[in-house]
Amino acid sequence: MAVGRPRQSNLRPTNVLRLVLLCSVHFALDTASAQGTNVLDNTRCARLGDTVIQQLKTNRFREAETVLSASLANGAEPVCVATIFINMAATLSLSGGFAEAERLAESSIRLLDSSTAPDDRALLRSLQILSAARFELRKTGQSRQAFNRMSTLAMERPEDRAVAHGMSGMLLQVEGRLREAELEYLAALRAWEEASGGDSANAASALACLASLYIRDGRLEEARRALDGAILIFSRANDAGSIDRINVLHLRSALRWRRNERREAEQDLRDAVAMADHESLLEPASHAALLAEYAQVLRKNKRGREARAIQARAAALWPRQSNAIVDLTALLREQTPPKK
């Protein structure tokens, strides 16, 4: 599962990464139970964790962080605080708060590095989420660094192996190593099926990643089947987050555009935007990127007035992002295989 040197790709790296990002959120976010239970069973730590979770539920993120810092200064166990930090990071990642998730995962790792052995399995989940958050932030080199360290740790549970296979697949796909990436995604899917019967949001993310690979490889019918499976699971999985559903709609819009189903592609993006508009923790850059791509599809579909209004919203949210957004339709033209 090691990730080696990137190979040359016919796609611009930004465009490849954009497609892969649509599948990737959930892989590192379902590994809390076995790794955090013993720590949080401690009464004092459990009370602290409950306090922080209640603050997160009401969007009082800074207050939660202040409580943890004060607790650490007053003698709270570093492993306890590190576990709560990474639980916060997982919660924020599910809503697209990847920059904060990265920072919290780094804080968790620093605490664990100062209080556990370098190969302690307690580090596994923090490294998983750090790698995933950095990948979402397009820091692929740093994501790989966290992944490589994660790969040195023992992975006894199928959930842990699934995360490693999924992250490896995403990094390989960005590097243009599609056959190797496909094998990793299939291995991740098998591991999630072993862990949870294949009906979790994580299994759906594995299917979404396969779909993104198939779209890029021009295997549109296989992409459709994988996406149909992912959407069905996300619609009923209790562990699915809003960002999961936004991303799978975004990915299906790419597939539908590729199949020349332009109105359907537009509708998927409209639905994704409507969900994003109600997600308070979604980062402005991610929200603006989605709006700008929706504006481009509207423009291609001859709906210029609506496109201008949506583009203005994107610019207001994140001016740098709206000016640098990748054209989804150009991305798909680049991925169209040459006719034989």
What is the three-state SS of 98-157? HHHHHHHHHHHHHHHHHHCCCCCCCHHHHHHHHHHHHHHCCCHHHHHHHHHHHCCCCCCC
With respect to residue 301, please indicate whether it lies within any of the assigned structural domains.
yes
Give the long-range contacts of residues 87-90, CB within 8 A, separation 24 or more: 87/32, 87/36, 87/49, 87/52, 87/53, 88/52, 88/56, 88/61, 88/64, 89/126, 89/129, 89/133, 90/28, 90/29, 90/32, 90/129
With respect to residue 67, please indicate whether it lies within any of the assigned structural domains.
no
Domain CATH code at residue 292: 1.25.40.10
DSSP assigned state of 27: G
**Residue 324's pLDDT band (boundaries 50, 70, 90)?**
very low
With respect to residue 294, please indicate whether it lies within any of the assigned structural domains.
yes
Q: Can you tell me which residue has the tokens 């780094």?
A: 106
With respect to residue 281, please indicate whether it lies within any of the assigned structural domains.
yes
How far, in Å, are 136, 170, 173, 252 from residue 23 at the CA level?
10, 9, 12, 11
Global confidence as pTM: 0.76
Q: With CA atoms as reference, report the closest residue to 82 among 64, 51, 108.
A: 108
Total domain count, the chain: 1
The answer for 154, left when phi > 0, alpha when psi is -120 to 50, beta otherwise, is beta
With respect to residue 273, please indicate whether it lies within any of the assigned structural domains.
yes
Q: For residue range 17-39, what is the model confidence (pLDDT) as tens digits?
A: 555 655 655 554 444 433 444 45
With respect to residue 245, please indicate whether it lies within any of the assigned structural domains.
yes
Q: For residue range 154-171, what is the model confidence (pLDDT) as tens digits?
A: 888 898 898 899 999 999
Instruction: Tell me what the pLDDT averaged over the chain comes to.
Output: 81
Q: For residue range 44-80, what is the model confidence (pLDDT) as tens digits?
A: 888 888 888 788 777 787 888 888 888 888 888 888 8
With respect to residue 272, please indicate whether it lies within any of the assigned structural domains.
yes
H or E segment at 183? helix 178-196
Sign of the CA dihedral with 65 first, then 67, 69, and 72 last: negative
Instruction: Give the residue with greater pLDDT, 280 vs 330.
Output: 280
3-class SS of residue 334:
helix
With respect to residue 252, please indicate whether it lies within any of the assigned structural domains.
yes
| pLDDT(262) > 50 | yes
DSSP assigned state of 338: P
Region 178-183 average pLDDT? 96
Residue-range definition of the domain harbouring residue 307:
241-335
